[in-house]
Amino acid sequence: MTATVARDNQVAARANDVWKVYGSGEAQVMALRGVSVEFERSRFTAIMGPSGSGKSTLMHCLAGLDSVTRGQISIGDTTVTGLGDAGLTRLRRDKVGFIFQQFNLLPTLSARENILLPLAIAGRKPDPAWFDTVIDTVGLRDRLGHRPAQLSGGQQQRVACARALVARPEVIFADEPTGNLDSRAGAEVLNFLRNSVKEHDQTIVMVTHDPAAASYADRVVFLADGQVVTELTGPTPETVLDTMKRLDVLAEADV
Amino acid sequence: MLRATLKSLLARKLRLVLSGLAVVLGVMFVSGAFVLTDTLGRSFDAVFSTAYSEVDVAVSAKPKVAVSEFEGEQVAANFPASTVDKIRSVPGVATATGVISADGARVIGTNGKVVTSFGPPQLGGNWTGDDELVELRSGRGPTRDDEIAVNATVAEAAKIKVGDRVGVLTLAPKREFTLVGVFGYSGGRDSLGGVQEVMFTEPVAQQLMLGEKGVYNSVVVRSADGVAATALRDDIARALGDQYVVKTGEQLSDEASAGLKEGLAFFNNILLGFAGVALFVGIFLILNTFSIIVAQRTRELALMRAVGGSRRQIIGAVLVEAVVIGLIAALLGLGAGVGVGALLAYVFGQFGGGLELAPIGVPVAAVVSAFVVGVLVTVVAATLPALRASRIPPIAAMQDVATPDRPLTRLTVAGAAVAAVGGALLALGLSGNAGDNTLWTILGGVLVSFVGVALLTPLISKPVVALLGRIFSWSVPGKLGRLNSGRNPRRTAITAAALMVGIALVTGVTVILNSAKSSLTALAEETIQAELVISGAQTGPRLPSFDPAVLDRAAALPGVRVVAGLYGDMAMVGGERTYVTATSDVSALRGIYKATPTSGSIDRIGPRQLLVDAKTARERGVAVGSTLLVQLTRGEQQTYTVTGIYAESDLFGGFVVPVEAARDFAVPQPNLGYLQLDPGTPVDRVLPQVEALLADSPEVSVADRASFIEQQTGQFDQLLLMIQVLLALAILIAVLGIVNTLALSVLERTRELGLLRAIGLGRGATMWMVTVEAVVISVFGALLGVAVGTGLGAAVVRALRDQGITNLVLPWSQAAVFLVLAALVGGIAAVLPAIRAARLNVLGAIAHE
């Protein structure tokens, strides 16, 4: 691996002057206005902002789930912008992992089958050592044969996390992963996400509106009115909350 | 509440259209049947009131042998010219014309083939000159004995014109005439309701159509001015006595029309059969659709309950939807039914030889039945889902309760009970203990059995679907599809059950008909000992016949050992109507039919002697030496003596009269001829020689034994094909059901599909997943259908063992074909839902509630 490639690989996902406009005429909504942001490898980044700030839209665009109106998105060395459905499918299959607020497990499959599903779809064999590592990290070994309906919400979300991790994607996008969990289960999941970054060099981008959740990240990017307003490194719940409170002022100042 | 219902109804147009379609089809056939009957009925009325416009009173003699429509043709007795004179002398009669008009004048076309008729008679009669009804188109009426005139329909069908030499088959073998005239009827008609007419001179008509000189079979009377037809009818009847039938023209017109309308009931029943099957399968479809809709709207319905809606209101809401769908479907079905009725009436008019159609009308009965059937079927089907909807607890609005699969125990017990009732009904019907209700008992048994099996289907579906799915489990989407199809056993089951009904019916009928064919073939092969057979395909009520002289000439051919011609007719024997046979060589019965005597002699039969089979003899209580009064179609009643009794077989039985008596049969010519050859004589050598002899008998042909048996049993294949086409409709509706179920499942699993797409499932793989689900369901349905159908068919075959159906033929190859077809059908049904699934917007799908 040469130094140049290594430097390029520092960035797992990048948005470059991204605009996203919904609708037209009077009903037009500008969800993103010229967002440029990079997400480094092996880091846990949180995207925060009030409702309607465009944080979810940014994540959807980054993940190739939504198209951008203007600007460019890349994941690793792949330019996402302009890919067709087949290209996007391949991207999602090989480079991206997802964790959703609504767990989104297939009810017909057992926990193990759910976790291995992306690999099965891609036709790849799981790396047994890595699979064991993931299972142990999420602590699901004794639940592998269960169906989602037989698992608690926290367990289901941990299955979803394991599913995202097991394919070792370039980057994992987590959309409010603790939104449907009580605080204890939420903390478990967040701990587990942080560990997988620290110990296993995963890259995670998480959208959240919960300052406590954001404080688990290495870095927090704040959005307001479709623009990046500020960011924090090494956040604590207090600094995050404080920044959120000043977000309006910061946004005004920025404009 | 009503408003909310209608709004949610509008929001789901497509799926309601799909489920309503079955009702539309059913209603279409119901109303189509009414429209067809009504239109044709009025057309017949118009035709016959024209045909009898020149008749005030008509006289005919009572038939000597009264025959029902299904037994053959009824032949009125002949009467002498003196009767015409007697009528003429009745006061009030202006004119009385002796008329000869009888069915059975078959014209041979320029292609050498007999002009056939599917229904309307082929009348032969005497030319009485043109009048207000009959209009000469070209030429003139026949004046010499070798001249004829025909109506325009005959001329067109036979492709003959004035001046041509034309062969005509009548009671006598083929005779040639010169065509001197072509005529039509008032109003520019070529024919009256498709009837073919050939006119001879009076003596020829008497000889060829009535078989006697100087006789007539009806008299047309015009009344003097101011004399009422009914009064004149009564006067004439009194003058003639009770051997005559006297009717007014109006009566005859009404009766003729009513007779044909009765024949239409057959078409009506076929259409109503279509409708019944469509509606029965449709009930499954609607039930399923409503169940899925209710399941999807659990939260919405629970909310209604939470804000104070009562159970009855929930039931009402669902049923109102059903009523609306039923009404719309009935309306569409009625429209389509008018179209189908009009189309069939047109087709009927064409094949019926150009029946002039009355304007298409929509009778009140069609409208009423359309709406009653449409709404009733839909509401009945929606009742269960409505009840289920009303049981949703209000708490479901607050919780994301994944309604757990309820155990299938109750359903299974109910299914077993219903299936048992169905089986019992079937057993009762098939055992023949149900008396007059046999048909209804069997039909009811089949229906109830279907419902029972449908109720059992969820239980069966689990293992079978899992097993079937294994075939597709080699790929991830295939495996997902398999799991999806096993996900909701009730839904899978009811979708498959709809397909099961159609395929079970087809399979059952196939088993029965193939078994019957095989049994009959075996029987014929065992019983008929003749190398060559002369016979013809029956196209009307009259059996095709041939010149008896052929029999003698065939017997003279080198290599031919025995020739036996068979004649048949209905006759009154000992006061009972029965079928009698005559044969040109009675001793051949032993050789050809393997008939064996049980008493007396069956090797010869003299004048006024009878042979009879042992079973009939037992039933009638006759023995050798008994005497019986015999009245044939023509001639006087005579006393016959039983001289021989033979052991009956399934192919030959009943009374045998001497061949001389066949002269008085309705058709005095043989309709079957058996030829036994000398040992070692090649069949191929004799066959063309016999063929040559039959040149003037174009209604029949000669075939070797195997081909003859094949011809005779070929009707089973035709029947089978017809029924298969009929039942294809049921299968089509079931396919709609699969489309519907899949479309709803795709909708229901939107979020899941979004997830699968999000984690890298391609479009093609998504489509494959949906397709596998459809194929698994449809193959499951086909398997069930084949199993149930084979069971039903085997039961019927078993019950018919006494009727001679001894071979049970199981349709292995057809079953394989059905399974492959079902897989194809599943694939086709999956196309639209699969495309829909593949096109889902991933982001929107994930956010989908």
The band of B181, judged by pLDDT with boundaries at 50, 70 and 90, is very high
- Residue B646 CB contacts under 8 Å (≥ 6 apart), including other chains: B589, B595, B596, B597, B598, B602, B611, B612, B613, B614
Q: Residue A15: what pLDDT?
A: 92
Say if residue B830's pLDDT is above 60: yes
Residues in chain A: 255
Task: Supply φ then ψ for residue B670, to 5 degrees.
Answer: -70, 145
> Across residues B7-15, what is the average pLDDT?
64
Say if residue A63's pLDDT is above 80: yes
Residues in chain B: 849
* A120 vs B contacts (CB less than 8 Å): 476
Any bridge partners for residue B103, and if so which? Answer: B123
Asked if B846's CB is within 8 angstroms of A107's CB, the reply is: no
Share of residues in chain B with pLDDT > 90 (%)? 19
Picking from B370, B361, B338, B364, the residue whose alpha carbon sits closest to that of residue B40 is B361
End-to-end CA distance of chain B: 24
Q: pLDDT tens digits, residue range B669-716? A: 998 899 999 988 888 899 999 999 988 888 888 988 888 888 888 878
Asked if B487's CB is within 8 angstroms of A104's CB, the reply is: no
Say if residue B470's pLDDT is above 70: yes
Distance CA B198, CA B715 (A): 31
Distance CA B445, CA B448 (A): 5
Share of residues in chain A with pLDDT > 90 (%)? 17
CA angle, B278 then B279 then B284, to 5°: 100
* A171 vs B contacts (CB less than 8 Å): none
Q: Which of B195-209, B514-528, B611-625 has the lowest mean pLDDT?
A: B514-528
Q: Is B835 on the interface with A (CB under 8 A)?
A: no
> Across residues B351-380, what is the average pLDDT?
82
Q: Residue B777: what pLDDT?
A: 87
Q: Which of B333-337, B473-477, B499-503 has the lowest mean pLDDT?
A: B473-477
Q: Residue B838: what pLDDT?
A: 84
Q: Which of A233-242, B6-15, B311-320, B798-807 has the lowest mean pLDDT?
A: B6-15
Higher-scoring residue by pLDDT: B436, A85: A85
Which among B754, B759, B763 has CB closest to A117?
A: B759
* A90 vs B contacts (CB less than 8 Å): 760
Q: How far is A3 from chain B (nearest CA, A)?
A: 31
Q: Residue B2: what pLDDT?
A: 61
> Across residues B470-482, what is the average pLDDT?
79
The band of B848, judged by pLDDT with boundaries at 50, 70 and 90, is low
Say if residue B500's pLDDT is above 80: yes
Distance CA A222, CA A237 (A): 14
Q: What is the mean pLDDT of chain A?
A: 85
Q: How far is A252 from chain B (nearest CA, A)?
A: 31
Six-digit token string for B412: 């299974």
Q: Which of B287-291, B296-300, B588-592 has the lowest mean pLDDT?
A: B296-300
Cα B722 off chain centre by: 8
Q: How far is B514 from chain A (nearest CA, A)?
A: 44
Which among B751, B752, B763 has CB closest to A85?
A: B763
Q: Residue B813: what pLDDT?
A: 86
Q: Is B753 on the interface with A (CB under 8 A)?
A: no
Say if residue B52's pLDDT is above 80: yes
Q: Residue A8: what pLDDT?
A: 47
The band of B366, judged by pLDDT with boundaries at 50, 70 and 90, is confident
Q: How far is A207 from chain B (nearest CA, A)?
A: 15
* Test mutation, B405, B752, B755, chain A, max A CBs within 10 A: B755
Q: Residue A217: what pLDDT?
A: 93
Cα B306 off chain centre by: 56
Q: pLDDT tens digits, residue range B135-151? A: 999 999 999 999 999 99
Asked if A93's CB is within 8 angstroms of B758's CB, the reply is: no
Judge contact between B114 and B108, C-beta under 8 A: yes
- Residue B255 CB contacts under 8 Å (≥ 6 apart), including other chains: B247
3-state SS class at A75? strand
* B752 vs A contacts (CB less than 8 Å): 104, 106-107
> Across residues B782-788, what is the average pLDDT?
90
Q: Is B752 on the interface with A (CB under 8 A)?
A: yes
Query: Which residues numbered 462-481 in B keep a CB inside 8 Å of some CB on A?
Result: 476-477, 480
The domain segmentation of chain A, as residue ranges, is 42-67+82-254
Q: Which of A208-217, B26-35, B96-105, B292-301 has the lowest mean pLDDT?
A: B292-301
> Across residues B186-206, what is the average pLDDT?
88
Task: Supply φ then ψ for residue A226, to 5 degrees.
Answer: 80, 15
Q: Residue B451: what pLDDT?
A: 84
Quote the ipTM score. 0.74
Q: Residue A5: what pLDDT?
A: 39
Q: Residue B124: what pLDDT?
A: 93
* Test mutation, A92, A103, A116, chain B, max B CBs within 10 A: A92
Asked if A104's CB is within 8 angstroms of B763's CB, the reply is: no
Asked if B758's CB is within 8 angstroms of A89's CB, the reply is: no
Sheet containing B218-223, strands listed edge to edge, beginning at the edge strand earlier in sequence: B93-99, B218-223, B57-61, B244-248
End-to-end CA distance of chain A: 43
Q: What is the mean pLDDT of chain B?
A: 84
Say if residue B102's pLDDT is above 50: yes
3-state SS class at B392? coil
> Across residues B543-569, what is the average pLDDT?
90
Q: Which helix (H) or strand (E) holds B93?
A: strand B93-99
Q: Is B846 on the interface with A (CB under 8 A)?
A: yes
Say if residue B527's pLDDT is above 90: no
Which among B477, B765, B842 has CB closest to A65?
A: B842
CATH of region A42-67+82-254, choose from 3.10.180.10, 3.40.605.10, 3.40.50.300, 3.40.50.1370: 3.40.50.300
* A121 vs B contacts (CB less than 8 Å): 476-477, 756, 759-761, 765
- Residue B159, class by beta-carbon neighbours within 10 Å (0-12 exposed, 13-18 middle, 19+ buried)? exposed
DSSP-derived secondary structure letter, B543: P
Judge contact between B456 and B462, C-beta under 8 A: no
Which among A92, A94, A105 has CB closest to B758?
A: A92
The band of A7, judged by pLDDT with boundaries at 50, 70 and 90, is very low
The band of B387, judged by pLDDT with boundaries at 50, 70 and 90, is confident
Which amino acid, B418?
V
Q: pLDDT tens digits, residue range A23-60? A: 777 778 888 999 999 999 999 999 998 888 888 889 88
Locus of tokens 């020149």: B54
Q: How far is CA B483 from CA B466, B478, B497, B774, B849, in A?
A: 8, 9, 19, 12, 22
Q: Residue B695: what pLDDT?
A: 86
Q: Which of A205-219, B63-77, B142-156 has the lowest mean pLDDT?
A: B63-77
The band of A6, judged by pLDDT with boundaries at 50, 70 and 90, is very low
Six-digit token string for A199: 């110990």
Q: How far is B759 from chain A (nearest CA, A)?
A: 6
Q: Residue B452: what pLDDT?
A: 86
Say if residue B532's pLDDT is above 80: yes
Q: Which of B420-424, B433-437, B446-450, B519-523 has the lowest mean pLDDT?
A: B433-437
Distance CA B371, CA B336 (A): 13
Q: pLDDT tens digits, residue range A92-145? A: 888 888 888 876 788 888 899 888 888 888 888 888 988 888 888 888 888 899
